[in-house]
Amino acid sequence: MIYYPKAVGSVKEDTKSIQDAIDLASRHGGGTVYLSAGEQYLCGSLVLRPFITLHLENGSRLMASPNLADYRKGDEPDDEHTRGVGTPVLRKPAFSFLYAYDADSVTIDGEGTIDGNCHQFVSRVNPYHCTSSLYPRPTLVYLEKCNNLRIKGVTLTNSPFWSLHTAGCDNVLVEGITIRNPLDVANSDGIDPDHCTNVRIHACHITCADDCICLKNTKGSAMYPPTKGVVISDCTLVSTSSALKIGTEGVDDFSDILVHNCVVEASNRGISIQVRDKGSVQNVHFSHILINTRLFSPDYWGKAEAIALTSFNRDEQTVSGTIRQIYFDHIVTKGESGILIAGDGDKIHDVHFDTVYIGLEKTSKWPLAGYDYRPRFMQDDEHTKPVSAISVQGKCNLFLDRVSATIQQHAGFGPLLDAPDATVYGEVTDAT
């Protein structure tokens, strides 16, 4: 079944036209709904069905309504009483633009654009930060309990909240997509696989004011299996938070993850494993990655750490999980901070660095000020000690093989290795 909805420019009419096409194709067992080149469709929430392909022709634009009344209502927004430490995502999305539930073999593809109209939902706080009291704001694409997903080629832009959130899905392919979100709109994550298994994210370019690719195990999706079996490759990433991240929400374990052949540019953090809940992270391999970081506004987590592995209790009721069997090889970093490993007590084990170069140099207008430990409960969020090539705070078994560093002369930079309580096998050599 092939259907071309006509664009009229009215939220009510365009939503009905596209939804009718999706539903008609679904009644015939599936098919493709084409959004035509040169057309702009202004819509409220659309519900995708099993075996439906939504194809956006090159030059087409699917624009989200600026009015919350036009969105499918999911869970309730958070308020000051329900929001936890570190504003975790505790429930399912309150609002979503493109939505599917229990719909196998959904495909979104083409060369067109899906526009989330983000500036209708946020206001400027300062020159570097736009946000609002509404949390969470509308998710651009939310697909739950859908297997055999394909998201290919399209551009996602101006998302008010997470751009592509897959929850409880198995066999997910995200390939060749572009995500362009403003670098000052908070929480505009790129891709967030949440309790998903067998995920491949390949050849994507992502620019956003939060995490570019972030693996999650949120409380709201805890009825699904934990995130496992993920491959991320050949992506270019720019972020005002972490370019590649596991956490912060992690009520279940993460395991069996490969990340390779990626380039991180101008980001506030490169790679982050951020454990704050009971879930642990195990058996993760990062290889052949170039990381370039810089300091940015303190509105965003991170202080230019190229790599940050942290495990802290989120609150007084939560004991955070462990991080173990983490491997880095053929990594080149350059920026205003190096590698941070920090945790409460004995929570990080068996971290391996092989063929890694760390270059520290001052480049931005923002002051060097140690490390950012947010979020954690009842302790200082920041440590203002000098920035080292590798800093380990707490106990850890650390394995170093062919690790070298160059540190620019600056009062804010410290030694090659600062690891007073760690067990370190190997050394960091001075590459000057």
Same domain (yes/no): 115, 252:
no
Say what the pLDDT of residue 159 is.
Answer: 98
The answer to whether residue 279 sits within a structural domain is yes
- Write down the residue that tokens 């990340």 correspond to: 259
Q: SS3 breakdown of the chain: % helix, strand, coil, rounded to 5?
A: 5, 50, 45
Nearest of 14, 23, 20 to residue 44 by alpha carbon = 14
Same domain (yes/no): 110, 250:
no
**Domain boundary pick from 157, 188, 219:** 188
Same domain (yes/no): 146, 290:
no
Rounded distance between C-alpha atoms, residue 387 and residue 372, angstroms: 11
Q: Which long-range contacts (CB under 8 A, 24 or more apart) does 18-26 make?
A: 18/43, 18/46, 19/46, 19/47, 22/46, 22/47, 22/48, 22/49, 22/52, 22/54, 23/49, 25/1, 25/49, 25/52, 26/50, 26/51, 26/52
The answer to whether residue 246 sits within a structural domain is yes
Rounded distance between C-alpha atoms, residue 14 and residue 65, angstroms: 11
Can you spell out the DSSP letters for 383-431?
A: E-SPBPSEEEES--EEEEEEEEEEE-S-TTB--SEE-TTSEEES-EEE-
Contact between residue 431 and residue 385 where contact means Cβ atoms under 8 Å apart: no
**Domain boundary pick from 143, 158, 188:** 188
Same domain (yes/no): 245, 169:
no
34 token code pair: 């084409």
Say what the pLDDT of residue 37 is.
Answer: 97
Digit-by-digit pLDDT tens for the chain (432 residues) are 788 998 999 999 999 999 999 999 999 999 999 999 999 999 999 999 999 999 999 999 999 999 999 999 887 777 767 777 877 787 899 999 999 999 999 999 999 999 999 999 999 999 999 999 898 999 999 999 999 999 999 999 999 999 999 999 999 999 999 999 999 999 999 999 999 999 999 999 999 999 999 999 999 999 999 999 999 999 999 999 999 999 999 999 999 999 999 999 999 999 999 999 999 999 999 999 999 999 999 999 999 999 999 999 998 889 999 999 999 999 999 999 999 999 988 999 999 999 999 999 999 999 998 999 999 876 665 577 899 999 999 999 999 999 999 999 999 999 999 999 999 999 999 998
Same domain (yes/no): 143, 286:
no
Say what the pLDDT of residue 378 is.
Answer: 65
Same domain (yes/no): 183, 254:
no
370 token code pair: 């140690």
Handedness of CA 219, 169, 138, 239 (dihedral sign): positive
Same domain (yes/no): 172, 261:
no
The answer to whether residue 326 sits within a structural domain is yes
The answer to whether residue 200 sits within a structural domain is no
Rounded distance between C-alpha atoms, residue 428 and residue 11, angstroms: 59
- Write down the residue that tokens 């196998």 correspond to: 104
The answer to whether residue 275 sits within a structural domain is yes
Say what the pLDDT of residue 344 is.
Answer: 86
Rounded distance between C-alpha atoms, residue 95 and residue 252, angstroms: 24
Give how many domains the chain has, as a whole number. 2
The answer to whether residue 198 sits within a structural domain is no
Q: Containing domain of residue 22, as a range? A: 1-188
167: CATH: 2.160.20.10
Beta-strand runs (E) in 77-185: 95-101, 107-110, 113-115, 123-126, 129-131, 139-144, 149-152, 155-157, 164-167, 170-175, 178-180
**Domain boundary pick from 188, 219, 251:** 188
Distance separating the N- and C-terminal Cα atoms of the chain: 64
Handedness of CA 173, 177, 182, 183 (dihedral sign): positive
Same domain (yes/no): 282, 409:
yes
Same domain (yes/no): 166, 314:
no
